[in-house]
Structures are given as structure tokens and as C-alpha cells.
Chain A
Amino acid sequence: MTTRVATAGRFGIYGGQYVPETLMPNLIALEAAYAAAQQDSAFRDELDSALREFVGRETPLYFAARLSQACGGRIYLKREDLTHTGAHKINNALGQALLAKRMGKTRIVAETGAGQHGVATAAACAKLGLECVVYMGGLDCERQRPNVQRMQLLGARVVPCESGSRNLKVAVNEAIRDWISDPHSTHYLIGSVVGPHPYPTMVRDFQSVIGREARTQVLEREGRLPDAVIACVGGGSNAMGIFAAFAGDDVELHGVEAGGDGATHAAPLNSGTPGVLHGAMQYLLQDENGQILNTHSIAPGLDYPGVGPEHSGLKDSGRAQYHVVGDDEALAAFKELSRLEGIIPALESSHALAYARRLLKQRPGITVIVNLSGRGDKDLPRLMERGLL
């Protein structure tokens, strides 16, 4: 294990830039362009106005009265499911697409698992007139068919990735290979807080609007901060987006990983070891030879063997705690929210809901915010097909 610490883009020992030389100049240029954009009020205004008028921000902080009663506490839902395209992914897709355009890029490649990031990227590219190619695992194309059709309708080319595990990991591999082959005109629009620096930081920043809004909203409603904030963690972008605003507060941060069917899972923070995947040091599901293991989750957006380097650092420092919820428990939470609140959550977000129920059982009466990162319409065809509804 390397002992290098505290350079740019490092969270403890995690992060870094482990990419082929062909891409290094791109990362350096991206880092500089992002730093310049952050200082430019015109860029910030353009993004803010697009978030308001195109995405529909701010999103509500909804008090889930019947769910709270059923669980025995006070549960607020941060309604990212109400954003345009139906998940928090659009916050980052729009930010990066605007940045790419500013950098003179004409072509965007993206990976997608559940398809939510792919749809968000396709929408942002359509709006800004950028060419869009989305890599998606063959298995995910099957289990998230409505999103494939939405991406195509939005003008994106969807490329199914049929090698290996046919899921998110393979889609990232293919997107990176595409980027290596056309580094001048292409921007790789990563959908989570993963990948080489500056992506984990940049994606967190674009998503941190979630936490900033939620913190203000909860103070207005409750007159105080919540006891805990809960979010699901695949790569971990919705979790970093809401955690960031509460990191300096006396508020518990709970991340929820996918426990899959028990035998196979996607919970690197709970059962992985540090290693390098897709350009960054992070907790990773790997064997003793450093080969990446296969994962399983009912939620394609969580079906990934790695996790953002910042989460890896938060785990080691103890500032955030990470838990595991399996397929069945997530599915039960999915149904419960639908029936009690009239909100169909994404299977990914259902993992966070399931953990909220568990936490309130242990500590009745506390106030929590669950990041409801996306809507569940995309999951219905597959769940019906499998007789799970």
C-alpha cells in the first residue's frame, strides 16, 4: 500500500489519478478548467439558472407523516426524485456538460448503471447541442429498458456492453476506453464521485446543492438540524451531495450499501479492501491477486465493486458510518413508501429508506433526512417481469 497522503485529490490515502498517460493531460486540463469555471460568476449563474428552470430546483424537503408514524420517528425525504429526468444525477450531468461546452468539447461519453445518469446526460447534451454516447451494461439494458428508450429519444447513442459482468463496471471500462481513443474532442462525463481526480471532488461539488438546500429547509421546518442524514451508496454521489453540507455539524451521516442476495453483494466499504479501480484508490471488492470481483444488487445503480474515494476516507476517519441493506429489505421499503406516501422510490433509494426504518427502530423519536435520490418508475417493468410486486 502506498503511504502517500494529502496531495490534491486525496482523501486520506484514497483518490489520486491512476490512469494511462494518454489521459493525464486531459485530467490536468479538466482540473484547470473546473477551477476557472468555479471562479467565474457567469458560469455559476448559467448553472444556477439551468438548475432552477430546467431541473426544477429547489426540490422539496417533504415530511413523510405516515411513514414517520409507521417507523416511530420523524422522517424527511429530500425529493430528488422530483427533478427533471427523475434523479439527482441531472445536477452533475448539467454542471459537467456546461463545463465541457466551455472547454470546447463537442462529444460526451458517459457510463450508466440504472440508466438515470445516462438519461440525465442525454437530456443535458440535447439541451446544449452536444453529441452523446452512453455505455451501459447489457444486463442493465435489459433490466432498465424504459431508460434505454428515453436516452434514445433524447438523441443519445446507447452502446450495450456485453463483456464480463455486463453491468456498471464494464460500462465504465468501455467509456474510459472510448475517451482514450478521442481525448481531444470528447469529455467523459462521470456520473458518480468515482474516477481519477478531479472527478470525485467536482461531482461532489455539483451534487452538494442537495445538502445545501436540505440543511436550510430542515432548519426552517424544525428549527434545528436533524439527528441523522441517510443516503444509499453505490459510487456515492447522492450521499456525498447531501453529506457535504452536514459534514461540519453534529449530525450523524449514514451511507447504505447494497447487500444483494447475501451471497453476492456490492458493499465494498463493509467487506472490501483498499485498491485501485477506474483511476482512484478506494475500498474495493477484489481477490487476493487484485482481480475485481463480481457484484450483485437488485438496484443497478448500486451494482458496482468500488466506491468513491471520499467515502473511503470518511469510513476510515469514522465521520460517516456505512451499513448494508439487502435486496429483500430494500424491496419491502420500496413497497412501503409507495403505499404509505404515494411516492414510488428508485430501488437504489429504497436501500436508504430501509436503513431509516432500522435506525428508528433502534432509536425511536429521532429526526432523520433520507435522500430520496430517484424515482422508481424505471424499476417497474423488471420487478413485474420477475413477479416481485
Chain B
Amino acid sequence: MNQSLQGAFRAARDEGRKALLPFLMSGHPSPEAFANNLRQVAAYADVIEVGVPFSDPLADGPVIQHAAEVALRHHTTLSSTLATLASRDPGPPVVLMLSVNQVLARGIERFASDAAQAGVSGAIIPDLPHEEAADVRAQFARRGLSLIAMLAPTTTPARMAAILGQAQGFAYLISVAGVTGARQGFAAETVEYIRRARELSAVPVCVGFGISKPEHIHSLSEHADGFIVGSALIRAIDEGHNAGDVLEPLCAACRQTADNRTLTTGAKS
């Protein structure tokens, strides 16, 4: 397990709150604005997820797809992303989110070494399922990187156990069958699957896809350790809003969770 990821989740837990994991797309809306947002978001984030734009993403909804197109028009690459990350001020750990072909194009071994050198803690590779992940996991381990495991509502109990058995850093729980993007609420079976995953998991479980409002965090916080905010943040940036304005209420929701409402009764927050 990557030390900085472990530290980030432990710190959140010790403070009695849920972790917040904002997602930014490298090079979006411009390379300069991305570097700026990276600094701004650091104040609210326990872990920052940084997307490396890909021409043909399969799991992304329209908002993140568009952000990737914008970033590619700015000639954003894995190299330019790693350069930006290497030169940032010390802050929360960063995990990359990218397609397996981007990793293979660089070479798994070189990717792991370049990412580690840029201070990256791990990567989320949505189109690299458990069955295909052995080589990547082995190379990541040599460099102290975590390959973030993903679970979906369609994941069967047997798969869930197998996937969580190999999980490092944290587990990424996709909240709905679908692509990324904001949604209204969560089905009962979603809650049940998140609950089961947390029971089985040795690493923190974080819920992503469709987290845009404090209510979403309130409704799931009993069962999860962290929340990933992607499309809602990207859309706000597209609309010219300040990243901090979107994250402030979500960050507050992460502090007022069911767990710590009892812990902090009487205390001023």
C-alpha cells in the first residue's frame, strides 16, 4: 500500500470525517487553469484524482468526455501531466485516472517509474479489470504505487471478494451501472452493495459516480470512507465557477457524518 494514501485516509478517520476526493482533468479547461485548480482543490481534498485525457473513454459521461476533448486540444499528454504534478507544492496525494492503452503506450514499467518519480501515489485504470491487472499490479508494487480496485453494482459477491483481496490504497465503488455524471439519488441495492464491500474490505472504500450534493454524502456516509466528486466539479469549472465553491459544502458534509455526529455531540464545529 502506498504510504501517503494510507496516511491521508488515516488522518481523515482520526478527525472523525469522511475523505473527499475531487477529480480534475489535466489540461482542462487549460493547462494553466488546471495547475491553478490543483492548488485550490488541495485545501479541500484528502486525495486528488487527476484524469489524463484519452481520445476514446468508455466509462465517462458527457461532462468528463468533453473535458478530455478540451484537454487534448491543449495537447495535454501523460508527460505534461506528470511535469505539472512534479512541480506542484506539497499537498494531498494524487492518483491518476487513465485508460489502459495510455499505460501500455508508455510501457508498464516506465509508466510506474515515471509516475512514482512525479510523486504520484497510484492509478485508477477503469478499463483494466481484475482479470487483466496482474502485470500492472506487479510493476506498481515495485515502485510503491497503488493500483486502485474498482467495484460496480453488477459485481457478484465472489468477484467482490477476489477484487478486494488484492485492493491497495482504497477501493473505488462505482455507485451505479452507467457512465460518470451527476445523478439524483441512490437505489437501496446500491447502499446494500456499498455496505457489503466495506465489510469485506481491508482498505477504505470510496464511492464515486454521481456524487454532486451534500445529501448524497449524508445518505451514504454511514457505509463509506470517502467520496469522489468528478462531473459535478468539472461542470462547475466549465461554467466558470470557483472549484472551492463546489467543494466547500461537500467538504462540510464529509465532516457532519452519521459517525461523527455522535462522536462530536456538544462540540462546536
Contacts and interface: CB of A to CB of B under 8 A. Distances in A.
Interface of A: 1-4, 16-26, 163-164, 169, 173, 176-177, 180-184, 274-279, 284, 286, 288-292
B156 interface: yes
Interface stretch (B7-15, B28-36, B83-91, B127-135): B127-135
B101 A25 contact: no
Interface residues of B, number: 45
Contacts, number: 127
Nearest to B53: A291
B155 A20 contact: no
Contacts of B129: 17-21, 24
A4 B155 CA distance: 24
Interface string B104-131: 1111100000000000000000111111
Contacts of B150: 20-21
Contacts of A1: 104, 107-108
A176 B65 CA distance: 14
5 contacts: A21-B151, A21-B155, A24-B131, A184-B177, A290-B105
B54 A291 contact: yes
Contacts of A18: 100, 127-129, 132
A96 to B, nearest CB: 20
Interface of B: 54-59, 61, 65, 69, 72, 77-79, 99-108, 126-132, 134-135, 150-156, 159, 163, 174, 177-179
Given A17-B129, A289-B102, A173 B156 contact: no
B104 A181 contact: no
Given A183-B177, A275-B105, A20 B127 contact: yes
Contacts of B57: 173
A26 B179 contact: no
B56 A277 contact: yes
Nearest to B129: A24
A180 B58 contact: yes
Given A25-B156, A177-B179, A19 B58 contact: yes
Contact of B127 (A2, A279, A286, A288): A279
